Structure 1
Amino acid sequence: MVVEVEGFFGVYLLYCTNPKYKGRIYIGFTVNPERRIQQHNGGKQKGGAWKTSGRGPWDMVLIVHGFPNDIAALRFEWAWQHPHVSRRLTHVPRKTKKQSSFDFHLMVLYHMLRVAPWKRLPLTLRWIRQEYHRALLPLLQPPLHMPLAYGQVRAKPIAKTQGEKGQEEEGSGQLQSVCQRCRVCYSKLQGPDDALRCVHPGCSMAAHIFCLAKLFLQSEPEHLIPLEGVCPSCGNSVLWGDLIRHKKGCYGDLEEISPTQGHWVDELHG
């Protein structure tokens, strides 16, 4: 089964199965993993990287996805490639002579998922080739709010909102408005793009992203991105990652908030 994900930004790990180069790895960024592995195995003439060209076949072993945008994913890619240059990873031990490059970079990933700013993102760690994971099961377990998934993933075109569909049908330049109020500040929500909604069945809670984030961060106001909180309507616990997986683009808004609005700290740009 192939899982489809909207607004896909991922950082992947390749493993070389060519006997001449077996054991080599490559870390890269993609918005389309199916197309990207075909490019790598097709060589430079097919759009693959020069470091992988002529050395295949390559297996795309795992991919970390759920980044809010391409910049966040590219920064993650660079740090994973250069752990001892990144100021976030100075504590990571250097590679030993007995350690394979594959095992070393899995160890680096283990540490990356536990330091700011990445530890607070709603990332998913997906093993595309599970046979590589079996022998390393105890080595790489992501934080509890980051799902551990298995199997192929496909980039899915972002679905049009109801407002966008209405524009096409009616030829109108106005988005449809939603006559609903934020459950936290009680001011009117301007439309579907203005709100986060509870993921629990039967709960109709909707709130501004800033309002709900501030509510969830009352116990840790120095952070920008919450990990979890209690829905102000149904009272059920909800992971922040589950909320934003149902709303694309909201971190782009959060990145622009000024430090004077509450006690916000823009970790994504740290």
Structure 2
Amino acid sequence: MAIQTKPIPALYTVYILRSTVRHASLYIGSTPNPPRRLGQHNGTARGGAAKTSRNSLRPWQMVGLISGFPSMVAALKFEWALTNPHLSVHIPSDSRLSRSTQVKANGQPRRPSKSMVSILSNVHLLLRVPSFVRWPLKLHFFVPEVYAAWQKWCATAAVPLRPSLEVVTDFGGAQTSEGEPDDYSAAPLAEESESSDELEQTKTCGIHALPLDYEPIKDYVAKARGIFEFEREGDCVVCHRAIKSGEGLHAVCTNGGCDGVGHLSCWSRHFMPSQGLDNILPIQGWCPKCHGEIQWSDMMKELTLRLRGKKEVDKLLKTKKRRAPNKAKAKV
């Protein structure tokens, strides 16, 4: 049976959902499309979870999420660990922050009740454990008080997170439904033009500003395709040996204007010395040719897209044909 392989997804997230009616009601899920998924939770689109279907708790809003998962399975593993921190094998027993104090009828431990603080503390913990610490994850917060709770926990945590972990805030578009701002007051809008501007702004903020496709790396993908299609690899920028086209795995510098290509193993060894000998997966480094910084995750996303996602690349780089202008027939 052939193994199905796919490129690293453009986006896959684990999100935290909160009821705008009852802030104590929380939900954890995963999705490649947060705006669409939020619409499902709020009943404006088909789908959604039974736990979020009660109208008395709607509308829901995504207050934060984690992105950068290398696959759907990876996101599901993180989601399960965050939902079940009392059982997850990714957390050592002596490090658990959430413990079960009750059992179900079948004798299994009952999931402990969760709060925003408990979720954030377990996110902090999971980002430190060996299973996830070297993944190219990024934290996003869309509500000020949730971000403040995160900062408070980080300030008191005994073990800090790795410095390279990126934390992003966007408080301009905290959403409760697809295309709808989180203000559900019935106050009439003063001017129609202002409401249109505000609605348009919400579509470019918060979860609506997240890249759902490979568009952000389009130029990088086009550069790499041009190099390999025309066999312009040259010599490895790390070991300086000739690169044989079509043999082995080769990666391209992510920086614009740089056509540096190297053996994947050479890039890995080049990135690793500054990260310690115990680590087996690089996080970031610099290009020997242009001396620009490179994120290992960006390089791997392009590499897997080139090797496993020809259809996705063709779609991304497809140029739209321009329609010829209609020429009006001259009247005699």
Asked if these proteins are the same fold (TM beyond 0.5), I'd say yes
Cα distance in 1 for residues equivalent to 2:252 and 2:144: 34
Residue 229 of structure 2 is aligned to residue 176 of structure 1: yes
Q: Which amino acid aligns with 1:231?
A: C
Q: What is the percentage of aligned positions where both structures have the same residue?
A: 29
2:29 and 2:244 mapped to 1: Cα distance?
A: 39
Structure 2 SS opposite 1:34: helix
Distance 1:37 1:204, change over 3 A: same
Distance 1:233 1:80, change over 3 A: same
Aligned-pair distance for 1:142?
A: 4.7
Q: Structure 1 pair 205/49, CA: closer, same or farther in 2 (3 Å)?
A: same
Pairwise CA distance, 1:13: 0.6
Q: CA deviation at 1:228?
A: 3.2
Aligned-partner SS, 1:207:
strand
1:249 CA drift (Å):
5.6
Aligned residues: 231
Partner of 1:120: 134
CA deviation map 1:197-233 (0-9, x unaligned): 053x665433233321122224644433113334333
CA shift, 1:40, in A, is 0.6
Q: What TM-score do you get using the length of structure 2 for normalisation?
A: 0.60
- C-alpha offsets along residues 4-38 of structure 1, whole Å, 9 cap, x if unaligned? xx70011111112224xx31211111100111111
CA contact under 8 A between 2:86 and 2:99: conserved in structure 1? Answer: no
Residues 95 and 104, structure 1, Cα contact 8 Å, conserved in 2: no
Unaligned runs of 5+ in 1: 1-5, 167-174, 254-270
Whole-Å Cα distance in 2 between the matches of residues 214 and 113 of structure 1? 24
Residue segments in structure 2 that go unaligned for 5+ positions in a row:
1-8, 102-112, 155-159, 171-205, 307-332
Corresponding residue SS for 1:67: coil
The answer to whether residue 192 in structure 2 is matched with residue 138 in structure 1 is no
**TM-score (norm. length: structure 1):** 0.72
CA shift at 1:136, angstroms?
3.9
Q: 1:212 aligns with which of 247, 258, 267?
A: 267
Which residue number in structure 2 is paired with residue 188 of structure 1? 243
- Tell me the SS of whatever aligns to 1:138: helix
Residue 154 of structure 1: CA displacement? Answer: 2.6
Query: 1:23/1:84 Cα in 2 relative to 1: closer, same or farther (>3 Å)?
Result: same
Structure 1 residue 157: Cα displacement:
2.4
Q: For 1:94 and 1:243, how far apart are their aligned partners in 2? A: 33
Alpha-carbon distance change, 7 to 225 in structure 1, aligned in 2, over 3 angstroms: same
The amino acid across from 1:143 in the alignment is R
The structure whose Rg is larger is 2
The aligned residue for residue 93 of structure 1 is 97
**Secondary structure in 1 matching 2:90:** helix
Q: Residues 245 and 178 of structure 1: is their aligned pair in 2 closer, same or farther, counting only changes over 3 Å?
A: same
More deviation in 215-224 or 157-166?
157-166
What's the secondary structure of 1:104's corresponding residue? helix
Tell me how far apart the structure 2 counterparts of residues 115 and 87 of structure 1 sit (CA, whole Å): 11
Q: CA deviation at 1:51?
A: 1.3
**Offset at 1:128?**
2.2
1:82-119 CA deviation, whole Å, 9 max, x = no partner?
1121122131223699x961110100001111111211
CA distance in 2, matches of 1:87, 1:210: 31
User: What letter is aligned with 2:229?
Assistant: Q
Contact 1:31 1:155 in 2 (8 A): no
Equivalent residues of 1:184, 1:232 under 8 A apart? yes
> Does the Cα contact within 8 Å between 1:69 and 1:252 map onto a contact in 2?
no
Contact 1:13 1:25 in 2 (8 A): yes
Correspondence for 1:49: 49
- Aligned residue type for 2:153: L
CA contact (8 A) 2:253 2:287 kept: no
Give the aligned partner of residue 317 of structure 2: none
Pairwise CA RMSD of aligned residues? 3.4
The structure-2 alpha-carbon separation of the partners of 1:187 and 1:118, relative to structure 1 and needing over 3 Å to count, comes to: farther
Mapped to 2, the partners of 1:17 and 1:32 lie a distance apart of 21
Give matches, 1:25-174, under 5 Å.
25-42=26-43, 46-54=46-54, 55-90=57-92, 91-94=95-98, 101-140=115-154, 142-151=161-170, 152=206, 153-159=209-215, 161-162=221-222
Per the alignment, in what secondary structure is the counterpart of residue 37 of structure 2? helix
Distance 1:100 1:71 in 2: 24
* Letter matched to residue 238 of structure 2: V
